[in-house]
Amino acid sequence: MNHWIIAPVVLPALLAPIIAFVMRHDITLQRAASLAGAVMLTAIAAGLFMLSADGSVHVYRLGSWPAPFGIVLVLDRLSALLILLTSVLGLIVLMHSAASGWDTRGRHFHALMQFQLMGICGAFLTGDAFNLFVLFEILLIASYGLAIHSGGKARLKSGLQYVIMNLAGSSLFLIALGTLYATTGTLNIADLSVKVREIPVEEAALVRVAAMLLMIVFAVKAAMFPVQFWLPGTYANAPAPVAALFAIMTKVGAYAILRMHTVVFGPDADAIGSLSQDWLMPAALITVAIGGLGVLGSRRLMPLIAFAVLGSTGTLMLAVSAFTPYAATAALYYLLHSTMATAALFLVADLLLARRESGDLLRAAPATVQNGFLAALFFAAAIGIAGMPPLSGFLGKLLVLDAVRVADYTWLIWAVVLVGSLLTIVGFARAGSLLFWKSTSAAFAGPEPAPEEERPPANTIGPMLAAPSVLALASLAALTIFAGPVSRHMEATAEQLFDPSAYVTAVLADQEGTKDPSSKSHGDEEAAAKGYDESGAEAGTPSEEGH
Amino acid sequence: MVSGSGLLAVMVMLPFIGALVPGLMIRAGRDACAMFTAVPTLLALIFLGILAPEIMAGGTVTAKIEWLPALGLNANFFLDGLGLLFAGMILGMGLLITLYARFYLSGEDPMGQFYTYLLLFQGAMLGISVSDNILLLLVFWELTSLSSFLLIGYWKHLPEGRQGARMALTVTGAGGLAMIAGMLILGNIVGSYDLSVILQHGDEIRASEYYLPALILILLGAFTKSAQFPFHFWLPHAMAAPTPVSAYLHSATMVKAGVFLMARMWPVLAGTDEWFYIVSTVGLITMVIGALIALFKDDLKALLAFSTVSHLGLLTMLLGLGTKLAAVVAVFHIINHLTFKAALFMSAGIVDHETHTRDIKRLGGLASLMPATALIAVVAALSMAGIPPLNGFMSKEMMLEEVAHTDWWGGKWPIIILATVGALFSVAYSFRFIGHTFFGPVRDDYPHHPHDPPTGMLLAPGFLAVLVVAIGLAPSLIAGPIVAAASTAVIGGGELPYYSLKLWHGVNPALFMSIAAVLGGAVLLWLHRPLDKAWIRTPRPEAKAMFDRVVAGTVLGTRWLIEGTHNGAISRYLSIFVVATVLLGFAAFQGGGLPEQTREMLPVPPLVGVGFVLTMLATLATVFAHRNRFRTLILVSVVGLMVSAGFVYLSAPDLAMTQISVDTVTVMLMLLALHFLPKYTPLESPLSMRIRDGVIAVIAGAAVAALAYSFLLTDMSPISDYHLANSYKGGGGTNVVNVILVDFRGYDTYGEIVVLGIAGLTLYALMEALLNGPASRRLRNWTFPPDRSRDRHPLMMVVATRVMMPIAALVGVYIFLRGHNMPGGGFVAGLVISIALLMQYMASGFAWTQERKRFEYHAMIGWGVIIAGLTGAGAWLAGAPFLTSAFGYFTIPPFEEFELATAMLFDLGVFLTVLGAVMLMLYSLSRMARYAGETVNLEPMDYDPSRRVDAAIEADKKDDA
């Protein structure tokens, strides 16, 4: 068994408490540890990516218990890809946080970051539905801590809304899992895949409800209509690097739907049929529309970006909702793009807002230092998120549009996505023109700049500070240039996803090396029997899963 | 020998690579910057020249680079006659513009930026002209929109520049997006996105049911780009750009892209009635309206802009006619228009540069002041008017001749009249451009005294004017081959129709129409003054104002919608969430049936009935009493207790213990927290909303109950049977709940203690932020309620908790140790110890207790998480997966045999984390209290009676003494 599979969880989970409790008095030490951790995580993720690239499915049986009785981690192409994405994003965000000093504006930033990475990686790796719930909790609490990092009234208020909405989602998650367990008697994803397919449609009412409730739970995470309301406020008020990291958070929801509603509740299961697609697609479509409208209607830059994130998520979910291998290919390519584009935009916005005295309100104000450089970064990031060439968003959008042709109302989808793009383009053009062009007009030409030596030290963007944003943008360029190889890998990933037999076989069959309790027992057989009887009498409740 | 395809691919890339250069080379000076901008263009032009002979001989050059095969998007390029013509125009004009701009731009303009944008734009245009993949074409198409946005907005400090740029981007961007849909449909019909394949499938496309939508969507792209009515309004506003940009965008490139697209798609899309009526009508209307408006524009560039609109209309109409001959004429006119219009823009730029005005009413008489400029401008303008022997004359004659043979909307006359009127206006504004700018009396009130510019600035327009004359005089020699090559490509191969490029075609209808146009134009100019007055008086729709209103209205509308719905009203968010959940759950439920019922209803014993009723009553009471927060807390704890009782009844002692202790700790902490919150919840929502929320809540509750009820009716075989069977043999514990927690699903527990740990960190960070923020001021001004107890730390409680302390601690240890085999475990033990400690704090105050603690709570959480993690990782040493447990049985006399399991170490981690987290919460609350001015007591209790006794004894002693 390859122990590296669990490293993306254990490494940050051990590092975080050390950062929080041993290094808490020295920010430099924290930064060094946190960055080193992120570098190691990226290296491990790259290794796992290579490991899974050949299409093999690797199962890690925690506690040596056989599936479906213990918890398993499953590394396949999809999980490996997303872990790699998470670790790269994490590294970029950590660099920015350290360079911009965001990590000093509140306590425990780095520890929370590590825990957050742990939660995200764990969610991508787990092969157990209840464990997914646990990891969602980790994600939620860590992201809440990060979202309110450094405090402030608006931030605390939107953070509260975030946590309330997501707690409601978590409660629903439990209800859904209860229903699922009561119907199938298992929580292991591979086992569920088998069990759900055994249920005839005449007896499928409950499992259908479970599938739908789970979809809503994941939709809350992915911020889809009608449970998207929390996102704009939370993202707009979160510290910018945190918002950049949150780019992957909506993708956790997308991933969960992609995983659960293909492997378990796939369209090939009689009990489910086209249920997932029927509801997901309209919801995604409305999300796209809300995103576009919001970008155009926003008065402030951060909400504008947040709405662009909504639009991007909606587009991603559109591709997911088609539930075909080709659409999943499109979805995965777009997912990579959307994550990095969102992150880039938030990081660039942070560079700008840190230098702009009037905050993120979209109104003309004197130009900041390095107006041209910031404008160029913003232009590139806006092109990315709006899905314009030459960056990968355009390719992603074409792929998505091409892939959703399975629906009966393709024309409507195209119209909404394209009009949404137009609204986004116009919204960003207006914002950019206000922020970077109007600021240079004569009305803002202040008094002659003071002589060099009298000026206060300019708040210029050095290479260390610019690097993370530039890296994120460069990744979009790389995605464009290497679209062929990337899409081929996505294709292979999607194929693996839509043929769950390898996944199921890897988890359920071939369980050598797991604990075989019959061979290992206390010498006194009677005592063993007695113990079993006792425990049986004591713990005969149907809901042991509750902690 | 270099392969043609390699050259082609490199040629397309050159401008993009070259775009990196000017931004840097500007540091070496303006001349160097311009020179290095010219290098990639010149190189590309040379490459094109190398490829040209093969194309002219009727061949094509292709280059295929695989890019995104999954989509069918590949970087395939092909160069045929049409591509060659456009590539040549784009690169050639690019070179001339580079030269012209070097002299045009002032020292204050950032030249490096300008050239970078110019090269990007040039690359995008070049890409359009040689794309052999319609998706690739879309990529370049959108790139032209973006790069032209930068070029038009180049003078970013001017509002006209910014607005013009945004308008151009909006209109052409919208068209581009429509075109995406059109191209996708086209690719879908054919099954390939490769242009060369699509061009083979004309019949199939025209026969498809999706032909019309595809046509309309693609034409939307072409019409917006080529400024066709009613999308023509952006073009004049794009004139806010520096003149070199206008000359480039509006003669050779940007606006010609739409025409190029129509020509490119001509073989597959043209030839149907839909094409004919849509394209020719739009073109004709645009031609007439553009020319009419141009006549009354006083700004030289605006006049030229509307003239461009008009000529684009002319080209569109020609392509729309659908005949091969018309297509040939269109190709010829594209060349002619490029030459005279670019020359005119540059001349207008020179006039502006020299006189500092472009207002035609303030000009006149420049012919004698700047003769060279005047000569160039007059030649070009006469060509625009269609005066022989210039090239404009020829293509116009051919156009009129073509029109004269066309039936349009039921007859020949409408189109003949409209085309002649268009030509007439065209003559009039061309004459006005000449007459009112260069002739007439020399004035003495020019804003700046004009003279001819430096030679460098005249080179480019001069060269173009020479071309105008040369093509006019020797058309077949100069333009013949390229027109033939390009036309062949436009009509999709095959024989070209008979045509001849010459000045004199004999006496034909076109000649009469032409004469009528020239004479009419002269008359119009003569009447210009009164006509101009009438024009100014006539109300006309103002496109910019309308566009601005539409955009502003849309922005306001979206703002209203978005801010109204995303306004942070969490109760609405939640109600939408709940309603959606119930509805979708119900919809899903409807799609399947329920399995057969296998379980019988159990009788309800009286005890259970009482518990049920109590729970319901407490819940109901909570609903009615929830505005009083303390009371609510008590009521909620009743529910918690009843749930614990339920666990006891259902033989789940572990769960019951956990529930009770969690409930106790939560209520205690919440009581402390309530201290800082208002004691009553104000009534904020109206009755209607409360009723709405009530209905939603009841329905949702009923739905969950129904769901639970229905799944309790059937049996199934859960995985927990395995857990029951293997708890002792495999996990070494007889308490299966504990073994599940620390072994079977220890990873879940690990996750949950991490959650607790993070909660602790977050709490601490939050408290820090609060106490350093504005909230701390409010805390400092905290006033305690008047009914506050005077005896905060009563004697009874201090004594009782002190006595309880060791007992509770012992119970905690006991529960921890027995956990693996009997109800208990680290989680409950942690809570029990926390309660014991919590009580000390409550009895004697935080600070007093704090002084006596020996360990750091903060670190306790960390150690808990680390111990649990390391225990799990310890399994690696044995080569087993994370969290694999091991256990053994040991006998150390005089004790009985006992068991040691690694799971216990893991449980210790759980214990420490739970204890640490609870204590940290308490610590945070007490920090707030101290900020609020809570006094710190040094004694265990406020009133110590023993001290009084001591004092009395002391006093007695004194008395005795």
Q: Which residue has the higher pLDDT, A388 or B596?
A: A388
Residues of B in contact with A227 (CB under 8 A): 573, 576-577, 580
Beta-carbon separation of A178 and B581 below 8 A = no
From the CA of A333, how many Å to the nearest CA of chain B?
11
CA–CA dist A46, B663 (Å, integer): 45
Q: CA torsion B727→B733→B736→B740, rounded to 10°?
A: -80
HSE-CB at A469 with a 13 A cutoff on CA atoms is: 28
pLDDT one-digit tens code per residue, B673-703:
887 788 888 888 889 999 999 999 999 999 9
Long-range contacts of A37-42 (CB under 8 A, 24+ apart): A37/A11, A37/A12, A37/A114, A38/A87, A38/A90, A38/A91, A38/A94, A38/A117, A39/A91, A40/A11, A41/A8, A41/A11, A41/A12, A41/A87, A41/A90, A41/A91, A41/A117, A41/A121, A42/A84, A42/A87, A42/A88, A42/A90, A42/A91
Specify the pLDDT at position B901. Answer: 82
Higher pLDDT, B271 or B121: B121
Strongest mean pLDDT among B210-214, B801-805, B918-922, B942-946:
B210-214
CB B887 within 8 A of CB B902: yes
DSSP bridge pairs for B299: B359
From CA B93, how far away is CA B121, in angstroms rounded? 12
pLDDT, tens digit, 9 for 90 and up, residues A46-83: 999 999 999 999 999 998 899 889 999 999 999 999 99
The shortest C-alpha distance from A505 to chain B (Å) reads 18
Give B833-869 as a 3 state SS string. Answer: HHHHHHHHHHHHCHHHHHHCCCCCHHHHHHHHHHHHH
Instruction: With beta carbons less than 8 A apart as the criterion, state whether A222 and A295 touch.
Output: no
Q: Which chain A residue's Cα is nearest to B562? A: A294
Chain A residues inside the 8 Å CB shell of B69: 484, 487-488
pLDDT at A447: 53
Of B562, B735, B743, the CB nearest to A63: B743
Q: Which residue of B has its CA nearest to A6?
A: B882
Cα distances from B533 to residues B298, B436, B530, B537, in angstroms, run 13, 16, 5, 6
For residue A230, give the nearest of B110, B138, B573 by CB distance. B573
Supply B788's token pair.
């506050």
pLDDT tens profile A269-295: 988 988 999 999 999 999 999 999 999
User: Do the beta carbons of residue B757 and residue A17 sit within 8 Å?
Assistant: yes
- Is there a contact between B138 and A395 if contact means CB atoms under 8 Å apart? no
- Residue A369: what pLDDT? 81
- Amino acid A46: pLDDT: 97
B784, pLDDT greater than 90: no
- Sort out which chain A residues have CB atoms less than 8 A from B762's CB and list them: 108, 112, 141-142, 144-145, 148
CA atoms within 13 A on the CB side of B846: 15
Compute the C-alpha angle A507/A511/A513, nearest 5°. 135
pLDDT at B780 over 90: no
Beta-strand pair B73-79/B887-890: unpaired
For residue range B897-907, list pLDDT tens digits in order: 777 788 888 98
Q: In B, which residues are within 8 Å of A189 by CB distance?
A: none
pLDDT of A458 reads 58
Say if CB B161 and CB B154 are below 8 A apart.
Answer: yes
User: What is the overall mean pLDDT for chain A?
Assistant: 88
ipTM rounded to 2 decimals: 0.92
Distance between CA atoms of A312 and A158, rounded to whole angstroms?
21
Q: By the CB < 8 Å criterion, does B620 face chain A?
A: no
Contact A205 B744 (CB under 8 A): no
Q: What is the pLDDT of residues B665-677, one digit of tens each?
A: 898 888 888 877 8
CB contact (8 A) between residue B720 and residue A544: yes
Task: Find the radius of gyration of the CA atoms of chain A.
Answer: 24
Tens of pLDDT, residue by residue over B87-103, are 999 999 999 999 999 99
Mean pLDDT, residues A88-99 = 96
- Give A407's contacts in chain B (Cβ within 8 Å): none
Strand-pair partners of B889 = B899
Q: Do B744 and A298 touch (CB under 8 A)?
A: no
Chains A & B: contacts with CB separation below 8 Å = 462
What Cα–Cα distance (Å) separates residue A47 from each residue in A8, A41, A94, B756? 11, 10, 21, 31
Residue of A134, A309, A144, A174 lying closest to B753 (CA atoms) = A134
User: Would you state the structure tokens that stand for residue B627, as one six-digit string?
Assistant: 């505005």
CB contact under 8 A, B823 and A538: yes
Selection from B829, B834, B815, B809 nearest residue B916 by Cα: B834
Instruction: Read off the tokens for B234.
Output: 């952006």
CB-based burial label for B438 (10 Å; 0-12, 13-18, 19+): buried
Q: Give the closest residue to A8 by CA, choosing from A123, A167, A141.
A: A123
DSSP codes, B619-683: HHHHHHHTTBHHHHHHHHHHHHHHHHHHHHHTT-HHHHHHHHHHHHHHHHHHHHHHTTS-SB---
> Could you tell me the sign of the dihedral formed by the alpha carbons of A147, A149, A150, A153, in that order?
positive
Specify the residue for token string 């890690």. Answer: A60
Has residue A172 got a pLDDT over 90?
Answer: yes
Segment B289-324, tens digit of pLDDT: 999 999 999 899 999 999 999 999 999 999 999 889
CA distance A465 to chain B (A): 22
Of A156, A329, A388, the CB nearest to B142: A388
Structure tokens, A4: 């590296």
Element (H, E) at B367: helix B366-369
What tokens does B270 get?
Answer: 């043209």
- Give the number of other CB atoms < 10 A from CB of residue B314: 30
State the number of CA atoms in the 13 A half-sphere of A5 facing the CB. Answer: 25
Residue B69: which of A388, A437, A484 has the nearest Cβ? A484
Give this prediction's pTM. Answer: 0.93
In single-letter form, the type of residue at position A476 comes to L
Whether B716 and A184 lie within 8 Å, measured CB to CB = yes
Closest approach of chain B CAs to the CA of A89, in angstroms? Answer: 21
CB B779 within 8 A of CB B811: no
3-class state of residue B386 by DSSP: coil
* Dist CA B871 CA B742 (whole Å): 11
How far A304 CA lies from chain B's nearest CA (Å)? 11
Q: Is the dihedral of CA A57, A63, A67, A69 positive or negative?
A: negative
Smallest CA–CA distance from B722 into chain A, residue? A69
For residues B153-175, give the mean pLDDT: 91
Give residues with Cβ within 8 angstroms of B771, minimum separation 6: B779, B927, B928, B931
**Contact criterion met (CB below 8 Å) for B908 and B893:** no
Burial of A22 (0-12, 13-18, 19+ CB in 10 A): middle
Provide φ and ψ at A186, rounded to 5°: -150, 165
**pLDDT confidence of residue A527:** 40
Q: Name which of A70, A145, A538 is nearest B651 (Cβ-Cβ).
A: A538
Closest Cβ opposite residue B593 in set A202, A298, A541: A202
Contact between B728 and A437 using a beta-carbon 8 Å cutoff? no
> What does the pLDDT average to over B928-943?
73
In the numeric block, the tokens 């970078």 are attached to B116
Interface of B with A in 759-818 (CB under 8 A): 759, 761-762, 764-766, 768-770, 772-774
Phi, psi angles (nearest 5°) of residue A226: -95, 25
Contact yes or no for A182 and B716 at CB 8 A: yes
State the distance between the two ends of chain B, measured CA to CA, in whole angstroms.
128
- How far from B68 is each of A493, A511, B876, CA to CA, in Å? 16, 40, 43
Confidence (pLDDT) at B76 = 92
Q: What is the CA radius of gyration of chain B?
A: 44
Average pLDDT, chain B: 88
Q: Do A418 and B883 touch (CB under 8 A)?
A: no
CB A328 within 8 A of CB A494: yes
Closest CA to A407 of A530, A509, A499, A284: A284
Q: Where residue B412 falls among pLDDT bands split at 50, 70, 90?
A: confident
Q: What's the pLDDT at B115?
A: 92
Name which of B169, B765, B881 is nearest A106 (Cβ-Cβ): B765
Nearest to A240 by CA among A79, A100, A365: A100
Put simply, the answer to whether B773 touches A152 (Cβ < 8 Å) is: yes
Which of A475-489, B32-46, B53-67, B440-454 has the least mean pLDDT?
Answer: B440-454
The neighbour count for residue A8, using CB atoms within 10 Å, is 30
| Smallest CA–CA distance from A525 into chain B, residue | B729
Rounded distance between C-alpha atoms, residue B11 and residue A544, angstroms: 69
* pLDDT higher than 90, residue B925: no
Q: Does the pLDDT at position A378 exceed 80? A: yes
pLDDT tens-digit series, residues B847-877: 777 777 777 777 888 899 999 999 999 889 8
Shortest Cα–Cα distance, A51 to chain B (Å): 18
Among B368, B250, B259, CA closest to B314:
B259
**Which pLDDT score is estimated for A445?**
60
Give, as one character, the DSSP assignment of residue B155.
S
Q: Which of residues 658-677 of B touch A (CB under 8 A)?
A: 658
Exposure of B794 by Cβ count < 10 A (0-12 exposed, 13-18 middle, 19+ buried)? middle
A519 pLDDT above the threshold of 60? no
Please name the residues in contact with A342: beta carbons below 8 A apart, sequence gap of 6 or more.
A244, A247, A305, A308, A309, A312, A385
A547/B827 touch (CB, cutoff 8 Å), yes or no: yes
Q: Among residues 584-603 of chain B, which lie with CB inside 8 Å of chain A?
A: 584-585, 587-596
Residue at token pair 């309100």: A361
Q: Is B368 on the interface with A (CB under 8 A)?
A: no
Looking at CA atoms only, how far is residue A221 from chain B in angstroms?
Answer: 13
Best residue of B114, B755, B921 to probe chain A, by most A CBs closer than 10 Å: B755
- Distance from C-alpha of A152 to C-alpha of B718, rounded to nearest angstrom: 48
Q: What pLDDT is attached to residue A522?
A: 40
Per-residue burial over A469-490, b if 16 or more Cβ lie within 10 Å, else e, is bbbbbebbeebbeebbebbebb
CB atoms within 10 A of CB B325: 19
| Residue A506 to residue A273: CA distance in whole angstroms | 25
Contacts of B863 in chain A (CB under 8 A): 17, 21
Cross-chain CB nearest to B595 (options A203, A279, A430): A203
Give B493: exposed, middle or buried? Use CB within 10 Å, 0-12, 13-18, 19+. Answer: middle
Residue B947 has pLDDT above 90, yes or no: no
Which among B69, B740, B889 has the least Cβ separation from residue A544? B740
Per-residue confidence at A530, pLDDT binned at 50, 70, 90? very low
pLDDT at B26 > cutoff 80: yes
Contacts B653 to A, Cβ<8 Å: 538
